Structure 1
Amino acid sequence: MFQMDYEKIKPLFFKLDPEYAHHLVTAMLQTGEAVPQLFNRWVEKNFVDDERLHQTIFSRTFLNPVGLAAGFDKDAQMIRSMTAMGFGYTEVGTVTPKPQPGNPAPRLWRHVKEESLQNAMGFNNRGSLYMERKLKKRFPYVTPIGVNIGKNKATAERDALKDYEHGIRVFRNLCDYLVINISSPNTPGLRDLQNEKFIEALFGMAKALTDKPILLKIAPDMENEQAVALCSKAVESGADGIIATNTSIDYSLVAQPKEVGGISGKAIREKSFELFDAVASELFGKTVLISVGGIDSGYEAYRRIRAGASLVQVFTGLVYKGPELAGTINRTLLKLLEKEGFSHISEAIGADRR
């Protein structure tokens, strides 16, 4: 797959149902993992390992700043494949305590003109026990692993804290960092947990359980002031970083939206950047900031880095740009660092804030 011209095979994938296409790609990647010579060739072709991009974050070395966002590898089935595709780290999940099928299909749609996706998946995953078994076979891996945890749909809001506690207890020794997901639009009432009272209780509980880095992932649909206040409260309460942003429910961003689910990809690029920039204006230098949302090139990744992101994540860009995206982004970053006279990525991080 990696040696093929993606632009030639993309039309074939796009004739398939989006969710089926994802399952097909998963199977292809897992097959490639099982062939050492092929796997090593993928790594050699795609993985950029240059000291100018190395960073130590959360006591781990990130060989490059481009990571896979949560949602692509929900059950930790493709960690090795993501390294072969050039990612410096992988975030798996969202995982819930109990397995759940998610929302009824169809629940994933392409907006081809806008190079975007819309998903109403609903935290479909095989549950914490399955992922625990998968991670025990992999951790510690050569590149950092984050675990994104959520609550089951059937769990009442008043009991949500218990689901997050379960996730922290199970995965605290099987990853390099944890992410609290209360920003998906596809679990009823989940975004209602984006309030300062819950955040304070959540991180109070979490930091009492583990010293593993724990991050908060936020939605792009809040007002800037609300997002800044929420993220500041999270950091005050012990959060080790902020990931901005999740998918958007602003359906005006695409020409033919479905009235359900969240939009990702190029359509949310500016919305995501604006919120990230607002958060970074307050929290840059005080915590680790990770930017995600509409990043599909080295130039966009570099814009986020200059705005204050130590790391970036991609997802939808893979669908439209193909499996060599991470490598392409990293090579572009190196060219931009050189062009601007920076000897290391750390000099570019937050350059627009200084």
Structure 2
Amino acid sequence: MINYEAIKPWLFKLEPEDAHHLAECVLRLTNLCEIPFKPFLKSHFVDNSVLTQELFGRTFSNPVGLGAGFDKNATMIKGIRTLGFGFTEIGTVTPKPQEGNPKPRMFRHIEEKSIQNAMGFNNHGAPKIVNMLKQRFPYETPIGINIGKNKTTPDDQAINDYISLIDTFNGWGDYFVINISSPNTPGLRDLQNEEFISELFTQAKKLTKMPILLKIAPDMEIKDAVALTKMAVEKGADGIIATNTTVDYSLVKEPKKIGGISGAVLKEKSFKIFEAIAKELYGKTVLISVGGIDSAEEAYKRIKAGASLVQILSGLVFHGPDMIMNINNELTKLIKADGYKNITEAIGADRKA
């Protein structure tokens, strides 16, 4: 166990992006030598038959994953597993390297336990990142590859970026995520339309057998989100991730006028749109819920609503690395308390009622 509450005040003296780089340095040490981290892995990685399920041709030992945006360049895969995550998602990756938006571009809203980021898809670019994945292959836990277009790519050529990325990373992950929902690349959310999605999935499904998921924004009208995700599944999407960050700046007291907000304040908004999508698509595709999940109770709520998996990101900042272990252990108890032997029986329980 880590006394994160004792460490947190010192971490919060650092700029958020600097604190992230410090965490990355620590987690990257597992690439050099795993032995010192094995006791932590043993205590924090929950591998319980109650939580285990098969998805996308892989075994997920537990349903709690790390959302995209933390390990942008696939440098921390082993370290993230050590923290206890059952899967992780790298990226967002773009075809060419890009520095992202000007700094400062990440901000804490401590009272609201939320993060506002305007990073802008800063990453090392596809060629370097795919080489990093090749060095780490085979992976001990499932890996998703979150892909997006370069900032300089015009919207009318955006599809070429996504197709290029699918071709480059084909076979080097367990699933793709189409990211057209980040608020940090100008014009990106405009691609959340039926014409673009239809053409993208039509082309992409010809290139790869890897599952391809669509990630949507929480700021869409619910009826539009349902219609878009339904159409995406009809065109071949293998799953839906709901949701990305929000640009509803009214959720925090002192917002910046850039970027998207994640964390506790996104909980209600994210669940509302997930619930609507699940009512339409549960049983027809894989659903992943992300946004404001910070407890086993909240994770279980999403699972019973139809989520096969959940993702966490900002909660780590405020609750520390024991959070994943705690959620998985408590989740096991909640599933058993409802009389289920395995998580698959709990998934969508509210849809079946």
Q: Kindly report the root-mean-square deviation, in angstroms, between the aligned alpha carbons of the 2 structures.
A: 0.8
SS of the counterpart of 1:39?
A: helix
Report the Cα distance in structure 2 between the residues aligned to 1:4 and 1:63, rounded to whole angstroms: 23
Specify which of 11, 14, 24 is matched with residue 13 of structure 1: 11
Tell me, yes or no, if the aligned pair for 2:2 and 2:321 is still in contact at 8 Å.
no
Which residue identity does 2:52 align to in structure 1? H
CA shift for structure 1 position 33: 4.4
- Report matched runs for 1:1-354 at 5 Å: 4-354=2-352
SS of the counterpart of 2:139?
A: coil
Which residue identity does 1:203 align to in structure 2? F
SS of the counterpart of 1:51?
A: coil
Report the Cα distance in structure 2 between the residues aligned to 1:39 and 1:327, rounded to whole angstroms: 15
What is the aligned-residue identity percentage?
60
Tell me, yes or no, if the aligned pair for 1:97 and 1:167 is still in contact at 8 Å.
yes
Summarize deviations over 1:185-209 as a string: whole Å, max 9, x none: 0000000000000000000010011
Summarize deviations over 1:100-150 as a string: whole Å, max 9, x none: 000000100000000000000000001001111110011221110000000
Summarize deviations over 1:133-185 as a string: whole Å, max 9, x none: 11001122111000000000000001000000111001111000000000000
CA shift for structure 1 position 32: 4.4
Tell me, yes or no, if the aligned pair for 2:30 and 2:78 is still in contact at 8 Å.
no
TM-score with structure 2 length normalisation? 0.99
Report the Cα distance in structure 2 between the residues aligned to 1:331 and 1:278, rounded to whole angstroms: 28
SS of the counterpart of 1:301?
A: helix
CA shift for structure 1 position 332: 0.8
Which residue identity does 1:296 align to in structure 2? D
Report the Cα distance in structure 2 between the residues aligned to 1:139 and 1:37, rounded to whole angstroms: 19
SS of the counterpart of 1:346?
A: helix
Report the Cα distance in structure 2 between the residues aligned to 1:75 and 1:164, rounded to whole angstroms: 17
Which residue identity does 1:190 align to in structure 2? L
Report the Cα distance in structure 2 between the residues aligned to 1:232 and 1:351, rounded to whole angstroms: 21
CA shift for structure 1 position 36: 2.7
Report the Cα distance in structure 2 between the residues aligned to 1:344 and 1:233, rounded to whole angstroms: 31
Summarize deviations over 1:55-84 as a string: whole Å, max 9, x none: 110011101100000000000010001110
Which residue identity does 2:275 align to in structure 1? D
Report the Cα distance in structure 1 between the residues aligned to 2:152 and 2:60, rounded to whole angstroms: 36
CA shift for structure 1 position 211: 1.2
Q: Which runs of 5+ in 1 are unaligned?
A: none
SS of the counterpart of 2:50?
A: helix
Which residue identity does 2:177 align to in structure 1? V
Q: Which runs of 5+ in 2 are unaligned?
A: none
CA shift for structure 1 position 249: 0.2
Tell me, yes or no, if the aligned pair for 1:298 and 1:330 is still in contact at 8 Å.
yes
Q: Which moved more, 1:24-33 or 1:240-249?
A: 24-33
Size of the aligned set, in residue pairs, is 352
Give runs of ≥4 in structure 1 deviating > 2 Å. 31-37
Report the Cα distance in structure 2 between the residues aligned to 1:35 and 1:132, rounded to whole angstroms: 22
SS of the counterpart of 1:286?
A: coil
Report the Cα distance in structure 2 between the residues aligned to 1:325 and 1:315, rounded to whole angstroms: 11
Report the Cα distance in structure 1 between the residues aligned to 2:267 and 2:51, rounded to whole angstroms: 24
SS of the counterpart of 1:255?
A: coil
Which residue identity does 1:243 align to in structure 2? I
Tell me, yes or no, if the aligned pair for 1:33 and 1:39 is still in contact at 8 Å.
no
Summarize deviations over 1:305-328 as a string: whole Å, max 9, x none: 000000000000000010121111
Report the Cα distance in structure 2 between the residues aligned to 1:262 and 1:221, rounded to whole angstroms: 11
CA shift for structure 1 position 6: 0.5
